[in-house]
Amino acid sequence: MAQLHKNFTSKQVGDLLGRYLGKEIEREYIQEILGIGKTRFFALVKKYRKDPESFSIEYRRKKATRKIPEEVENNIMKELKIEKKLISDPEVPLRSYNYSYIKDRLVSKYNQKVSTPTIINRAKKTGFYLKKSKRKAHDREVLTNYVGELIQHDSSHHKFSPYTDKWYLITSIDDCSRYLFYYRLTERETSWAHIEALEDVALKYGLAYSYYVDCHSIFRFVQGRDSFWRKHYKVTDEADPQWKQVLDDLRVKIVYALSPQAKGKIERPYRWLQDRIVRTCAREGIDNILDGNKVLEAEAARYNFRQVHSVTGEVPYYRFKRLLGEGKTLFREFAVPAPYKSTKDIFALRDKRIVNPYRKISFNKLVINITGVPIREGVSLRIVPDFVSGIAEIRFWHKNELVSTYQVRNEDLNLPNF
């Protein structure tokens, strides 16, 4: 409906309608001048006929603006002030206001419902508003047709709470359904932490067709970057990182993001999650990673089970279940590949050693007896640390046979090297 009151006065419109009723101008010309349709035109004619002298096109609100209770106004201002403080802190990874978060916060914390436009209006009037910087347009469409076709896997390092050091957020998300399969905050980023993510997804959902990652050294060996003392003939991918070896055993394809633009495809789905975690941790005074992971679990549940995704137009969990029901999946059932005996032989850190003449091997100053293996032959080590008990299990393989197992303290393995 055309907003006539912004383009014409009541007198101008009344004059045109009077000339129409006097058969001086045909209806089509008046409609074109006013930019209105046939229905709107005859509604105005009816109104003009009823009372030409008081005819008006001025817009009047049908309802008076509802006054927001003072308590709600105070909480809006309280949340806006917290936002400003976080944005002003150079160590906190927030550079803009999140009015939708404040809206959700008012509901969850104070049981108060306020629209996002109302919060934005208060923010503009009180100086809690920043113009959004122009960003380059990017392709947001779903590029896959099946769940499990492409799992976007990434980590980000941020100060998720103003009261702690930086943490790492490790996540795995399905490209097709946008369902978040794995999420965890950890104090250190290691190959083992990413292998645990692989195991969690594989045991819960099956084996995906492919993983999409950046060129971090945990995911990919790049000659000239990851090794200084090296043989000159070694090139990219001749030395496989621990994480890649696991996926190779499982016959899962790896797709690498080879440019900053491509890497953005991995990072974009996690920005909303990082954003809300930081804001909640700041407000709740989170000062340890255990409570930080509880905040992460709550935000991930909200995203997976309640939020309609802006790209797919569906809640991720229900889209995931629908596609599974329609048979649109490339997940394969997980099974321990031969000749291995246990998941510990697959989801493990790997190394190799040569049995010396005393039928022993040395590993990080540990001397371990090995039976059933000829001297001067190699053994493959599969190492599974347990950070709850503090004890790791080493499984020794020789020519496709499990020859022995060994228990050792995690601290004796120098795990930071992994």
Question: What pLDDT does residue 233 have?
Answer: 40
Closest-CA residue to 154 (of 215, 202, 109): 215
Q: How does pLDDT run across 74-112, given as a tens digit for each residue?
A: 999 999 999 999 999 888 888 889 999 999 999 999 999
Hey, what are 214's tokens? 């950046």
Q: String of b and e for 12-45 (b: at least 16 CB within 10 Å)?
A: ebbebbeebeeeebeeeebbeebebeeeebeebe
Decide the pairing of beta strands 180-186 and 253-256: unpaired
- Return d(Cα 178, Cα 342) in angstroms, integer: 31
- From first to last of its 418 residues, what are the pLDDT tens digits of the chain? 457 777 888 888 888 998 999 888 888 888 888 888 888 899 999 999 998 888 988 866 555 556 889 999 999 999 999 999 999 988 888 888 999 999 999 999 999 999 999 999 999 999 998 877 665 544 456 678 999 999 999 998 999 999 999 999 999 999 999 999 999 999 999 999 999 999 999 999 999 999 999 888 888 876 555 554 444 344 344 478 999 999 999 999 999 987 655 555 555 656 788 889 999 999 999 999 999 999 999 999 999 999 888 888 899 999 999 999 999 999 999 999 989 999 999 999 999 999 999 999 998 888 999 988 999 999 999 999 998 899 999 999 999 999 999 999 988 887 655 5
Length of the chain: 418
pTM: 0.76
